[in-house]
Amino acid sequence: MSHPTDQDLRNYALDELGRYKKFRIIEHCKECPECAERLIEAAREHGPEPEPFRLSKWNKISIVVMIVALLAVAFGMYWLLSSVGQSSARDLLETPAVPEGTPSLSPEEAPQEGGEPLDPDAERLG
Ligand SMILES: [Zn+2]
């Protein structure tokens, strides 16, 4: 039995051989550890490189869809704010807690307790 050539092994690693030729090489490597080693070497040199973070086509598509969705949400928010009106949109962004016009209890405006003088008539009668 003749040994497969380096070219054969390389083509095997690149998956460019027909099924029958691959079968013959495999059958040969079962009986010939030397060629099995060569085949492993060829696969290591020419085979597809293992990429741990390799993204499949569908992974990429789902990422693109996710980014598009995020952009759509951001654009929707922007459109919502700008459709309310430039000034009010700015107010919403800058003063989110207390909208203008809410009555605030400042010390001056708070009702004074005990400030009223006692009724003079009550003192006179008692
Ligand atoms: Zn061999």
> What is 37-48 written as a DSSP string?
HHHHHHHHHHSP
Q: Is residue 105 part of a domain?
A: no
For the chain, how far is it from start to end, CA to CA, in angstroms? Answer: 135
pLDDT band per the 50, 70, 90 thresholds, residue 104: low
Going from the Cα of 6 to the center of ligand 1, the distance in angstroms, rounded, reads 11
What was the pLDDT predicted at 5? Answer: 94
Q: Is residue 122 part of a domain?
A: no
pLDDT band per the 50, 70, 90 thresholds, residue 58: confident
Query: What pTM did the predictor assign?
Result: 0.39
Q: Is residue 125 part of a domain?
A: no
Residues 13 and 32 in one domain: yes
Going from the Cα of 20 to the center of ligand 1, the distance in angstroms, rounded, reads 17
Q: Is residue 12 part of a domain?
A: yes
Phi then psi dihedrals of residue 47, to 5 deg:
-75, 175
Q: Is residue 126 part of a domain?
A: no
Going from the Cα of 2 to the center of ligand 1, the distance in angstroms, rounded, reads 7
What range defines the domain where residue 65 resides? 57-93
Q: Is residue 73 part of a domain?
A: yes
Q: Is residue 112 part of a domain?
A: no
105 pLDDT exceeds 70?
no
Residues 88 and 65 in one domain: yes
The string of pLDDT tens digits covering residues 64-81 is 999 999 999 999 998 888
pLDDT band per the 50, 70, 90 thresholds, residue 84: confident
Instruction: Report the amino acid identity of residue 40.
Output: I
Going from the Cα of 97 to the center of ligand 1, the distance in angstroms, rounded, reads 80
Q: How many domains does the chain have?
A: 2
Q: Is residue 101 part of a domain?
A: no
Q: How far is CA 115 from CA 9, 69, 88, 103, 112, in A?
A: 104, 62, 41, 23, 6
Residues 87 and 65 in one domain: yes
Average pLDDT value over all residues in the chain: 78
Going from the Cα of 50 to the center of ligand 1, the distance in angstroms, rounded, reads 27
Whether the CB-CB separation of 13 and 25 falls below 8 Å is answered with: no
Residues 63 and 87 in one domain: yes
